[in-house]
């Protein structure tokens, strides 16, 4: 029996990925830029077992549909020239599918564990490419710190991969996550993305304007320019949500507490604190700040009605193997 266990951290996009240029290969329509978090973690064990007739995927103790897991594992099986099915046991130390990027850490941990179990020794570049097939954002969780994901030009997706931009320790920003809803989100991001690209009237403008956003964010990260990063990140976030709201049927992930957090964080920034917000495909608000602003931001978020939990995180490391062997 070939088995290994890996951990991976979710990431939060500052320049957002939204929309696909190829559904089958899961190729993004736009590039993106993210930070990997150290406080949240997915742990995944992959065990290839010749007694199995199909892959099994157990998430937090519950058997789930293994479709996307199988699609991802097939890539590694092809590389290893085997056909053996696997049992995948995965657990998250945070709410699944509630806009905390569980699919990002989930598929990153899956490919890293499967690679180790099969003894393939794939490069991070290849691991990122394979993780992308599971979930676009998972390609970024292969790496730690600040990460850039390329849109790529090739039809086979060989260049639609992430690469590290800056180590976590080189610019140790902090993240506070205001959880405003514990339940799983009503609409999965893949379905919401499809609705947006088919019906949002601004979709072409979204795709076109992502390139300058990415350039500005990359430049801000490399220069450690907090204000420049804050400006482009808030712009990218609001532009993505405006796009969702403009689709038919409309997609609105925010609740009242989401909006209250946004307003509060903007007010803190206007008052001079180095903090800004971003929001993904869910109602949670992520505040990104310099360490000197951490306590004031945490205090402010905790005082908002509807905020059920505030989690703190630093920037985290790459996906990695934690246990190997038969």
Name which position in 2, 4, 7, 17 contacts ligand 2P0 (CB under 6 A): 17
What are 178's strand-pairing partners?
A: 285, 310
> Are 315 and 36 a contacting pair, CB within 8 Å?
yes
Stretch that binds ligand 2P0, among 89-97, 133-141, 220-228, 308-316 (CB under 6 A): 133-141
103 binds ligand 2P0 (CB under 6 A): yes
Report the alpha-carbon distance of residue 131 to residue 140 in Å, rounded.
9
How many residues bind ligand 2P0, per CB under 6 A?
15
Nearest approach in angstroms of CB 208 to ligand 2P0 is 17
Min dist CB 68 to ligand 2P0, Å, is 8
Instruction: Out of 2, 7, 8, 16, name the contact with ligand 2P0 by CB under 6 A.
Output: 16
Q: Does 96 bind ligand 2P0 (CB under 6 A)?
A: no
Shortest distance, position 233 Cβ to ligand 2P0, whole Å: 11
Cβ-based nearer residue to ligand 2P0, 87 or 286:
286
Residue-wise burial string across 26-65, b where 16 or more C-beta atoms lie within 10 A, e elsewhere: bbbbbbbbbbbbebbbbbbbbbbeeeeeebbbebeeeeee
Beta carbon nearer to ligand 2P0, 118 or 179: 179
Cβ proximity to ligand 2P0, 3 vs 102, nearer residue = 102
- The tokens describing 82, both together, are 């085997």
Tokens representing residue 102 in the block: 């569980």
> Could you say which of 7, 76, 161, 281 contacts ligand 2P0 (CB under 6 A)?
281
32 binds ligand 2P0 (CB under 6 A): yes
Buried-state track 199-210, b at ≥16 Cβ within 10 A, e below 16: ebeebeebbeeb
Instruction: Classify residue 115 by its DSSP letter.
Output: H
Stretch binding ligand 2P0 (CB under 6 A), from 42-50, 129-137, 174-182, 214-222: 129-137
φ/ψ of residue 119, rounded to 5: 65, 35
Q: Are 62 and 12 in contact (CB under 8 A)?
A: no
- Region near ligand 2P0 per CB under 6 A, out of 14-22, 90-98, 259-267, 304-312: 14-22
**Among candidate residues 305, 262, 264, the one with its CA nearest the CA of residue 284:** 262
Q: Contact between 280 and ligand 2P0 (CB under 6 A)?
A: yes
- Residue 315, strand partner residues: 37
Both tokens of 326, joined, read 């038969």
Q: Of the two residues 2 and 102, which places its CB atom closer to ligand 2P0 in the complex?
A: 102
The token pair at 304 is 């908002």
> Helix (H, G, I), strand (E, B), or coil: what is residue 302?
helix
**In this structure, are strands 86-92 and 56-59 parallel, antiparallel, or unpaired?**
parallel
From residue 165 to residue 204, the character string flagging contacts with ligand 2P0 as x (rule: CB under 6 A) and all else as - is ------------------------xx--x-----------
Looking at the Cβ atoms of 137 and 284, the one nearer to ligand 2P0 is 137
Note the residues at the interface with ligand 2P0 (CB under 6 A): 13, 16-18, 26, 32, 103, 135-137, 189-190, 193, 280-281
């Amino acid at each position: 029996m070939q088995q290994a266990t890996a951990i991976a951290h979710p990431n939060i996009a500052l320049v957002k990925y939204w929309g696909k240029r190829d559904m089958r290969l899961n190729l993004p329509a736009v590039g993106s830029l993210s930070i990997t978090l150290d406080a949240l973690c997915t742990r995944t064990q992959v065990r290839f077992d010749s007694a199995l007739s199909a892959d099994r995927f157990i998430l937090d103790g519950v058997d789930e549909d293994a479709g996307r897991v199988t699609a991802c594992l097939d890539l590694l099986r092809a590389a290893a020239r085997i056909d053996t099915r696997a049992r995948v046991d995965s657990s998250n130390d945070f709410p699944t599918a509630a806009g905390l990027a569980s699919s990002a850490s989930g598929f990153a941990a899956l490919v890293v564990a499967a690679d180790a179990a099969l003894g393939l020794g794939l490069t991070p570049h290849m691991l990122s490419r394979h993780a992308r097939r599971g979930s676009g954002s998972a390609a970024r969780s292969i790496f730690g710190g600040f990460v850039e994901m390329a849109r790529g030009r090739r039809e086979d997706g060989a260049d639609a991969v992430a690469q590290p931009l800056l180590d976590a320790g080189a610019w140790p920003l902090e993240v506070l996550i205001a959880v405003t809803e514990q339940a799983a989100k009503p609409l999965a991001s893949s379905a919401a993305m499809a609705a947006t690209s088919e019906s949002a009237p601004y979709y072409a403008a979204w795709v076109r304007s992502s390139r300058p956003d990415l350039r500005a964010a990359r430049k801000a990260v490399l220069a450690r320019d907090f204000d420049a990063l804050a400006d482009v990140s808030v712009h990218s976030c609001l532009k993505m949500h405006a796009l969702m709201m403009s689709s038919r049927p409309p997609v609105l992930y925010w609740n009242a507490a989401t909006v209250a957090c946004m307003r509060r964080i903007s007010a803190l920034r206007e008052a001079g604190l180095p903090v800004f917000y971003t929001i993904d495909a869910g109602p949670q608000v992520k505040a990104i700040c310099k360490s000197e602003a951490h306590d004031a931001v945490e205090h402010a978020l905790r005082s908002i009605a509807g905020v059920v939990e505030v989690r703190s995180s630093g920037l985290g490391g790459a996906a990695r193997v934690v246990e190997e062997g038969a």
